[in-house]
Structure 1
Amino acid sequence: MSWNEPGGGNKDPWSGRNDQNNPPDLDEVIRSLQDKLGGLFGGGSGGGSSDGSTMRGLGIIAAGAAVLWGLSGFYIVDEGTRGVVTRFGAYVETTTPGLNWHVPTPIEQVQVINVEQQRFIEVGYRSGGGQAMGSVPKESMMLTRDENIVDVRLAVQYQVKDAKDYAFNVLDPNSTLKQVTESVQRGVIGASDMDFVLTEGRSEIVMAIKSEIQNVMDAYKAGILITSVNLQDAQPPEQVQGAFEDAIKAREDKQRLINEAEAYSNDVVPKARGAASRIVQEAEGYKEKVIARANGDVSRFGQLMVEYKKAPAVTKQRMYIEAMESVLERSNNVLVDVKGGNNILYLPLDKMTTKMSEEQPAVAPVSHESTSVVSQPVKEAVKTDIRASARERDVRGR
């Protein structure tokens, strides 16, 4: 009777089981697995020797895998970079350039960061290949303190100061720095006037922006060092560029006229000061002259007073004669009192002088000196007569 025929008891001749409900033999399963592993590593089908070779094979595989896993932990940090080691995501250490080792993945990982690379961001514009590609109005348009709008383009260069802070404290350092730069830039520009931003205040604004950005990034502990801030361009909006150029031209004309006025002032003022100084010196000289003359008159009067007290009549007569001499020196008409008579002799010296000057040769014009020389003998004679008359009166008076 067949095993699967009715009444055959449903026995399976290959499985060795008398009942389908019985579980498989565990010893047979283990033995079958050992045989397969032994066949893989060249072991026989014997019981004890097969088990030992299998275990040795597994140990060799495990040892080789462990060696390879440990060797994968070696890494090289190049010059100018730092390696940030993390263990299950937590910071462990920062490694310096050279050959280093860490517990391999997935326990520890290394992030190599270049700390000497010069990185930069652009605010207000975008460039490519060193050529300006255009403005970004959303970033470049800013309001000044005097309520004017300026187009400012800024470039910031930076490098990593601390690899640990750069890797852990800020999620996206580049984006964070750009946002901080735009915020600080708007604050500094908003506190300045438009003319200051566009003209003499550029260097001061750049220094203020750099200092403020560095302070904010240090407060964030972002591990970033700002090396330079460059103000690429600062100008009014394109819509009012023409009017602004006219205003600049007017300002330049104003400055030119001021410079010309200062040059004229520098030329005129010293001359005026020199003339004023000369006038003052002349006045001082005239003052000294008058004072000296007055002092001389006082001294002469004092001496004359002494002589007058000694001989009043003689002194009076002498003073009269000297006064008449000074008067007659400036007069061309002389009246002479003739002795012993009531007639007065009139000498028209002016006409006599004119007649004598007309008789001079025409080649040599008569000068004041020649006239004086011609009339001098006549004057001396008159003076002699006056002195004689004065002596006679003096004698009669006595």
Structure 2
Amino acid sequence: MAWNEPGNNDKDPWKNKGGKNQGPPDLDDLFKELGQKFGGVFGGGKSSSNNSGNNFSGVVFALAFIIATVAYLFSCVYTINEAERGIKLRFGEYVGVVEPGLSWKWTFIEHIIPIDVQSTRNLPASGFMLTQDENVVHVEMQVQYRIDNARDYVFNVTNPDDSLSQALDSALRYVVGHAKMDDILTSGREMVRQSVWEELEKIISTYNLGLIIVDVNFKDARPPNEVKDAFDDAIAAQEDEVRYLREAEAYARGIEPRARGRVKRLEQEANAYKAQVLLDAEGEVAKFNKLLPEYQAAKEVTRQRMYIATMEKVYSNTSKVMVDVDGGNNMMYLPLDKIMQQQNNNQRPTSQVNSTSSSNNRPASNTTISSSGRTDRFSDGRN
């Protein structure tokens, strides 16, 4: 028997809710029940009727509510990047700092301000400034900084970047105003940079900007264009002065070691000469001390021996010999240099002797000095 035959209503699978053979429910009944439930919740229970239009509007409203709820929940989830820190505000009041990662907030109740605390920012400053010696220079400087405290950066000052810019301009003008122009343009640039850094940190420390200075770069410093040529000449002259000083120092470093070596050598030679003279003197003293007893024992013999030794030493350095004959009035002179020269000529080959015989066969003339002052010439006996 079929389920839809007359008399079998109790076996209808679509209406037999309590039976064993349950079928799919009617969609209209399902939407009607949902509409009644939501309508009762929002005050629509009095208008419960079989009108399908009212049921459809209730279903649409329910679906819209579910979608809005899901969208709201999705909007409550947010992410803070690794380089950022989040400032959480609840109804505009500071609550805390949110660390990097996935977090939760109540949308329309809490507000998150992400702050980049790792990136390094640049802030330039430049302008014409008056120096201590009443000159005008154009200085350009750049500051590198990053956010150190996100809460102080957001709440302590209205515009921390603008406050830092004004502090940098104030510090730069203060330092330049207490420095000379030559130092700013040439050798004092590093000192000016360090001074600006210290002065800037001193200024911003009282405001708690939440910033930290990473570096200060001195980019450029130049005089006004009207006097630029004159200052270029002055700078070139200063560079030449430095170059000449370096060359002079290099020359001095090259000369000084040689001079010191020469002084050392002369000093050593002087010490050696001094030691030699002292030793010679000591030797003479020792020699005299040895001769003194001999002289005291036999004065005449010692005197004669000393005289002979002295004359022997003197005549050993000359080629002329004077011979004094006892009992005679003449003193004979022996030209030893001529004798030695003739002996050398005799030892030469015969060809050379023949060529020079005319000059060598002449008798050598000698001079004899008599006691009366007469001068005679005599032959030494050579043919």
Contact 2:324–2:332 under 8 Å retained in 1: no
Contact 1:142–1:186 under 8 Å retained in 2: yes
Partner residue, 1:113? 115
Deviation at 1:122, TM superposition (A): 1.5
Change (3 A) 1:146 1:41: same
**Number of equivalences:** 298
Contact 1:117–1:159 under 8 Å retained in 2: yes
Partner residue, 2:289? 302
**Aligned pair partner of 1:264 in 243, 247, 251:** 251
Instruction: Report the Cα distance in structure 2 between the residues aligned to 1:276 and 1:98, rounded to whole angstroms.
Output: 79
What pairs with 1:249-398 in structure 2 (closer than 5 Å)? Answer: 249-331=236-318, 334-339=321-326, 341-347=327-333, 349=335, 353-354=337-338, 357=341
Code of the residue aligned with 2:332 in structure 1: it is Y
Contact 1:333–1:346 under 8 Å retained in 2: no
Change (3 A) 1:221 1:355: same
Contact 2:322–2:332 under 8 Å retained in 1: yes
Q: Does 1:227 align with 2:214?
A: yes
Deviation at 1:254, TM superposition (A): 2.0
Partner residue, 1:146? 133
Deviation at 1:151, TM superposition (A): 1.6
Change (3 A) 1:345 1:273: same
State the percentage of identical aligned residues. Answer: 39
Contact 2:132–2:177 under 8 Å retained in 1: yes
Code of the residue aligned with 2:183 in structure 1: it is F
Code of the residue aligned with 2:172 in structure 1: it is Q
Partner residue, 2:32? none
Change (3 A) 1:264 1:96: closer
Contact 2:121–2:144 under 8 Å retained in 1: yes
Deviations 1:2-34 (A, max 9, x none): xxxxxxxxxxxxxxxxxxxxxxxxxxxxxxxxx
Change (3 A) 1:230 1:302: same
Gaps of 5+ in 1: 1-36, 47-55, 125-139, 365-398
SS at match of 2:205: helix
Partner residue, 1:19? none
Instruction: Report the Cα distance in structure 1 between the residues aligned to 2:246 and 2:215, rounded to whole angstroms.
Output: 36
SS at match of 1:159: strand
Deviations 1:122-168 (A, max 9, x none): 212xxxxxxxxxxxxxxx21233333332211122222211111111
Code of the residue aligned with 1:242 in structure 2: it is D
Instruction: Report the Cα distance in structure 1 between the residues aligned to 2:305 and 2:297, rounded to whole angstroms.
Output: 13
Instruction: Report the Cα distance in structure 1 between the residues aligned to 2:121 and 2:261, rounded to whole angstroms.
Output: 64
SS at match of 1:298: helix
Contact 1:150–1:235 under 8 Å retained in 2: yes
**Aligned pair partner of 2:101 in 98, 103, 107:** 98
- Normalised to the residue count of structure 2, the TM-score between the two structures is 0.66
Code of the residue aligned with 1:314 in structure 2: it is V
Partner residue, 1:212? 199
- Normalised to the residue count of structure 1, the TM-score between the two structures is 0.64
Which has the higher mean CA deviation after the structures are superposed, 304-313 or 189-198? 189-198
Partner residue, 2:125? 123
Change (3 A) 1:304 1:261: same
Change (3 A) 1:74 1:205: same
Deviation at 1:225, TM superposition (A): 1.8
Deviations 1:47-105 (A, max 9, x none): xxxxxxxxx99xx99x9899589745544333322222233433221222334344443
Deviation at 1:330, TM superposition (A): 4.4
Instruction: Report the Cα distance in structure 1 between the residues aligned to 2:340 and 2:102, rounded to whole angstroms.
Output: 130
Partner residue, 1:196? 183
Instruction: Report the Cα distance in structure 1 between the residues aligned to 2:195 and 2:176, rounded to whole angstroms.
Output: 10
Contact 1:157–1:229 under 8 Å retained in 2: yes
SS at match of 1:219: coil
Change (3 A) 1:242 1:160: same
Code of the residue aligned with 2:122 in structure 1: it is F
Deviation at 1:323, TM superposition (A): 2.4
What pairs with 1:2-17 in structure 2 (closer than 5 Å)? Answer: none
SS at match of 1:171: coil
Code of the residue aligned with 2:100 in structure 1: it is P
Which structure shows the bigger proportion of residues in helix conformation? 1
Q: Does 1:244 align with 2:211?
A: no
Contact 1:169–1:221 under 8 Å retained in 2: yes
Contact 1:335–1:344 under 8 Å retained in 2: no
Deviation at 1:355, TM superposition (A): 7.3
Instruction: Report the Cα distance in structure 1 between the residues aligned to 2:145 and 2:317, rounded to whole angstroms.
Output: 100
Partner residue, 1:386? none
Instruction: Report the Cα distance in structure 1 between the residues aligned to 2:255 and 2:71, rounded to whole angstroms.
Output: 93
Contact 1:76–1:98 under 8 Å retained in 2: yes
Q: Does 1:175 align with 2:150?
A: no
Change (3 A) 1:301 1:275: same
Code of the residue aligned with 1:109 in structure 2: it is H
SS at match of 2:206: helix
Partner residue, 1:87? 90
Code of the residue aligned with 1:344 in structure 2: it is N
